[in-house]
Amino acid sequence: MTPTLHRRLASLVCAVLLPLGHATPVTPTPLVEDVPFITTPDHVAVAMLEMGGVGAKDHVIDLGSGDGRIVITAAKRFGASGVGVEIVPELVAQSREHARRAGVEARTRFEVQDLFATELAPATVVTMYLLPEVNLALRPRLLALAPGTRIVSHDWDLGDWLPDRTLTLAVPQKTIGLEKTSRLHLWTVPAKVDGLWCAAGGASLRIEQRYQALQATLDDGPERRSYSGRIDGTTLHLLGSGGLAWIASATDEQLRTAPAAGSSAAPTWRRSTGAECP
């Protein structure tokens, strides 16, 4: 998809949200005609940041940052640093002024920038209030972020990348629509553990991964066992017929099982580049 098409998609964000009753136009400033601005209500912004577990060590990037309130709240209330990217220059100027008044200038930055051209890697938390199509266009880049990075989206999901958690909040100020609610979705970027892992004694663990969901098969001599489970950031939980069988932490090259894990789990597994374990 070209950047221009991305921009056109993104510019529809608020046009779609308006009929859903989220509109809270807070500025009389003339805006770029096809990029109207809609805010996340303050209590919803706080809930998004709480849901993302935002704290003083976090760096929040808000994609399409509007008047800057999510990044400013992240800094003022949660002690985080943050960056807001927004294509409407007047909104960026407003955001900078709001940050100055809130006393969080030093920990926040606002840039006039296309969200599709934004470097996302520094984020520990990404927030967004965009459109379903825009979320989907962003999904490969979100999925490629460091394992453990949290993503919080207001109202729209990420298609078949199912959220870890969804929260529905009352938003009484919604003026249109039958349901006066906002839905918030949280994802934690999973480590990529799909493939074959080998233990020192010759055992193999073959993992099939779909986003956070895992299926695994252990082959250890005559023993063959199947597990299903999940990965939360870098932590795997694999369940066997008797319940929780494995807990392991993942890096790109290694799985390390927790001491409490089942006795059949070797302590360390290395990623195999071949089709079989040696």
Binding site for ligand SAM (CB under 6 A): 7, 10-11, 13-14, 17, 35, 37-40, 62, 64-66, 69-70, 85-88, 91, 114-116, 129, 154
Task: Copy the structure tokens of residue 180.
Answer: 């006066």
Shortest reach from residue 129's CB to ligand SAM, in Å? 4
Q: Tell me whether residue 81 or residue 209 sits nearer to ligand SAM (CB atom).
A: 81
3-class secondary-structure state, position 54: coil
- Please tell me the distance from the alpha carbon of residue 109 to that of residue 72, in angstroms, as a whole number: 9
Task: Copy the structure tokens of residue 57.
Answer: 């060590």
* Residue with the CB atom nearest ligand SAM in the bound state: 64
Q: Tell me whether residue 15 or residue 213 sits nearer to ligand SAM (CB atom).
A: 15
Shortest reach from residue 21's CB to ligand SAM, in Å? 13
Shortest reach from residue 156's CB to ligand SAM, in Å? 10
Pairing of strands 125-128, 150-154: parallel
CB 218 within 8 A of CB 262: no
Q: Tell me whether residue 85 or residue 236 sits nearer to ligand SAM (CB atom).
A: 85
Shortest reach from residue 128's CB to ligand SAM, in Å? 7
CB 26 within 8 A of CB 67: yes
- Please tell me the distance from the alpha carbon of residue 7 to that of residue 114, in angstroms, as a whole number: 7
Q: Tell me whether residue 129 or residue 161 sits nearer to ligand SAM (CB atom).
A: 129
